Chains A and B, each alone.
Chain A
């Protein structure tokens, strides 16, 4: 079935596949963990039952999503070794300890307190339960911090030297952890996770408002989500822009691919292409529609300043432009739609019909999954855009590969594809089915789950 593909391309596809599936769950659980902490905090402060009901509802959804994140994450921690062992040997001394910190400071924290958050309110009391909930949220953020430091180091390596066997050796941990692209990437990703979660919560709220605009839990969650959309989207667009400028400085080739700039503009007045079909063979953008000069403005450069293109870069150092160009446009386009949605909700709120705006609610449902798509598109942009390197400019992807045979990689790839679609497909189905029920529903599953709402006596035989 996959005959004729090299071990390298299969291993790359396998990593892309497993990491793309994986990132979906953390993008949701990072945001949702913080949302749960906020809901629980508000419940303790106000004693408004609506918050508690919402907490118990989203907690069950969180448990399923988090479980999927854990099992797909364990796979990642071994993929480096099974398929990319040369990378592991060479970059391990630098990125390995950062990942060890992630395990020690984040994974254990999440896993250790998750049980108490899910099952333990009655056993430990409200205060300790709140503490456990906060620790889970803090753990998800710590995890994001460390893994983005690792990824950023691979994009913009700093603080290292290279030893006699070709390994990257740490020289300055401060420079390694806080490498030049890390703060931008971290801000952009954490905001993305919050926004993704807000859009999901908003969509669920909208769904139930369409059915019953008096549903008080739906009103509460919809309102909270729309506040997030209107406040966080502009911040995210700003953070994304700053991240882009940072990339322009440190990985200019990636920006050339994102913008479709095959050609140089030595006199300045570089266009911003709105549309075009990248043609790597001919090294040009076919059917291009661009606005002259806007390229310079976006790059915050004077209009007459030169903007260089891919014609100054050797072919074997260029990423595949088509993927990068389009995934970037998908991300930005969705970002603009999110901004529009946020403003629409602000308008509806101002006029007092936030809960009675069926078209806004329908738009929210349509935009429910858009955060995940934008996150994936963003990661595709940054990861494909830094090809052909794993450690940017220093270690090529083709030189990072493990000495495994193509049939072994092909077999495991097929297994991952089949298993992931089956298992995570089922999980997504269960999640959607839970979301389809009102927050006040006591039983989200067909049977009462291991996480029962307090005060409900289980019926024997259920």
Chain B
């Protein structure tokens, strides 16, 4: 085998998860910020800014789950029972939030679906962060199965990562709205973005400090010279992004805060990748140990190589069609 298929697929799954976080992050963030919408019209605008694209964004989550099932079935089989509660809660939260996009316009008590949209987005984000934290802490395995209890995922660290993701998504939502709106709501969101940006960076900082102590291997990755010099690129990038973020806010830039906030997520994701690699299910299983046979990986890869670029192309097209500032009176005809 010329190509290391498991390695390529680990990269593709990582790409799917990152794309999910980057895309659905801001639309979950809109939901988290929903109670802060000052009027009915503002909330309409907030929801409409993501209505045409949320569905495609969430499909990346299905690709993350479905892709894991396809190419790393053992990882899927171990991680899902281990994260049973947060995953189930996340799914239920996504049900509430997803239907709100349509129900909100069809119900007498639209307030009910406003609450469902907020609650669903908040809980989904929290559970995603908790799942991430639990995975970083490692999963107890016996043979080919999860061997822990059904509350192992609940730790101070996982709660911390849960809130980090909530704050981070809210930041993405606020900066998305800076990009998509004008006037009062834009000013309001720019105000929030200062605080959310500081809080996001703060929680990223705290999580980064604690992460190396979750597993000696992580520690080694980050503090073992000279190899860890490469890892230093992460904090350097983060500092650069912090600068572009706050100067962007200060310069009243529409786009820079959003791109910088996305950058925070990308860089954090790279950081997690540096800690994890080559583990798929920390602390014991590598990507090669959990991979499906090459015949499965190769078959699925043909589809991925052909279809993912096409998907990216029409996703980009959909965003392009709905580009520019929201017009409150237009409301997407």
Q: Which A residues form the contact surface with B (CB < 8 A)?
A: 63-64, 67-68, 70-75, 77-78, 80-82, 85-86, 88-94, 96-97, 99-105, 107-116, 118-124, 163, 165, 167, 169-171, 173, 402-405, 407-408, 412, 415-416, 419-420, 423, 426-427, 430, 433-434, 444-452, 454-455, 457-458, 460-461
Shortest A127–chain B CB gap in Å is 14
Inter-subunit contact B92/A445 (CB<8 Å):
no
Bound CA span A81–B75, Å: 9
Chain A residues with CB below 8 A from B63, complex form: 100, 103-104, 107-108
Shortest A428–chain B CB gap in Å is 11
List residues 127-176 of chain B with CB under 8 A from any CB of chain A: 144-147, 149-150
Name the contact of B52 in the complex, choosing from A105, A119, A420 (C-beta under 8 A).
A119
Task: State whether A64 and B300 are in contact (beta carbons under 8 Å apart), knowing that A85-B78, A89-B144, A113-B314 are contacts in the complex.
Answer: no
Inter-subunit contact A403/B146 (CB<8 Å):
yes
Inter-subunit contact B314/A111 (CB<8 Å):
no
Task: State whether A446 and B70 are in contact (beta carbons under 8 Å apart), knowing that A81-B79, A119-B332, A408-B150 are contacts in the complex.
Answer: no
Inter-subunit contact A81/B59 (CB<8 Å):
no
Inter-subunit contact B87/A82 (CB<8 Å):
yes
Chain B residues with CB below 8 A from A63, complex form: 102
Chain B residues with CB below 8 A from A447, complex form: 105, 110
Inter-subunit contact A77/B69 (CB<8 Å):
yes
9 further interface pairs, Cβ-Cβ under 8 Å (given A163-B293, A423-B99): A67-B99, A81-B79, A81-B80, A85-B78, A92-B69, A96-B73, A404-B81, A446-B108, A447-B105
CB nearest neighbor in B for A413: B88
Chain B residues with CB below 8 A from A426, complex form: 99, 103, 107
- Find the residue from B65, B322, B329 having the highest chain A CB count within 10 A: B65
Bound CA span A89–B322, Å: 41
Q: Binary interface profile of B, 92-130, with partner A (CB < 8 Å = 1, else 0)?
A: 101110110111011110100000000000000000000
Task: State whether A96 and B80 are in contact (beta carbons under 8 Å apart), knowing that A119-B52, A170-B295 are contacts in the complex.
Answer: no
Considering only CB atoms and an 8 Å cut-off, how many residues of chain B contact the other chain? 74
Bound CA span A64–B92, Å: 17
Q: Binary interface profile of B, 291-333, with partner A (CB < 8 Å = 1, else 0)?
A: 0110110011001100110010011001001100000010111
Inter-subunit contact A105/B303 (CB<8 Å):
yes
Inter-subunit contact B55/A111 (CB<8 Å):
yes
Inter-subunit contact A115/B105 (CB<8 Å):
no
Shortest B6–chain A CB gap in Å is 12
Task: State whether A450 and B145 are in contact (beta carbons under 8 Å apart), knowing that A97-B300, A103-B63 are contacts in the complex.
Answer: no
Inter-subunit contact B56/A85 (CB<8 Å):
no
Q: Binary interface profile of B, 70-92, with partner A (CB < 8 Å = 1, else 0)?
A: 11011011111100110110011
Between A and B, 6 residue pairs with Cβ closer than 8 Å are: A82-B80, A96-B296, A105-B303, A107-B63, A112-B56, A423-B99
Bound CA span A363–B47, Å: 41
Chain B residues with CB below 8 A from A404, complex form: 81, 84, 150
Chain A residues with CB below 8 A from B87, complex form: 78, 81-82
Inter-subunit contact A104/B304 (CB<8 Å):
yes
Task: State whether A403 and B145 are in contact (beta carbons under 8 Å apart), knowing that A81-B65, A114-B55, A115-B322 are contacts in the complex.
Answer: yes
Chain B residues with CB below 8 A from A169, complex form: 293, 295-296
Bound CA span A167–B150, Å: 26
Bound CA span A430–B40, Å: 21
CB nearest neighbor in A for B47: A450
Chain A residues with CB below 8 A from B73, complex form: 88-93, 96, 167
Inter-subunit contact B52/A115 (CB<8 Å):
yes
Shortest B81–chain A CB gap in Å is 4
Inter-subunit contact A101/B300 (CB<8 Å):
yes
Chain A residues with CB below 8 A from B202, complex form: none
Q: Which B residues form the contact surface with A (CB < 8 A)?
A: 40-41, 47-48, 51-53, 55-56, 58-59, 61-63, 65-71, 73-74, 76-81, 84-85, 87-88, 91-92, 94-96, 98-99, 101-103, 105-108, 110, 144-147, 149-150, 292-293, 295-296, 299-300, 303-304, 307-308, 311, 314-315, 318, 321-322, 329, 331-333
Chain A residues with CB below 8 A from B332, complex form: 119, 450-452
Bound CA span A67–B98, Å: 7
Bound CA span A58–B145, Å: 47
Shortest B93–chain A CB gap in Å is 10
Bound CA span A103–B53, Å: 16
Chain B residues with CB below 8 A from A101, complex form: 300, 303
Inter-subunit contact A82/B84 (CB<8 Å):
yes
Chain B residues with CB below 8 A from A108, complex form: 56, 59, 63, 307, 311, 314-315
CB nearest neighbor in B for A418: B92
Name the contact of A408 in the complex, choosing from B58, B85, B108, B145 (C-beta under 8 A).
B85
Inter-subunit contact A449/B106 (CB<8 Å):
yes
CB nearest neighbor in B for A100: B70
Shortest A85–chain B CB gap in Å is 4
CB nearest neighbor in B for A18: B91
Chain B residues with CB below 8 A from A92, complex form: 69-70, 73-74, 76-77, 292, 296
Chain A residues with CB below 8 A from B65, complex form: 74, 77-78, 81
Bound CA span A86–B146, Å: 10
Bound CA span A63–B52, Å: 11
Name the contact of A112 in the complex, choosing from B70, B88, B315 (C-beta under 8 A).
B315
Bound CA span A67–B101, Å: 8
Inter-subunit contact A85/B69 (CB<8 Å):
no
Shortest B127–chain A CB gap in Å is 12
Bound CA span A63–B79, Å: 33
CB nearest neighbor in B for A98: B70
Chain A residues with CB below 8 A from B77, complex form: 81, 85-86, 88-89, 92, 402
Name the contact of A123 in the complex, choosing from B47, B303, B322 (C-beta under 8 A).
B322
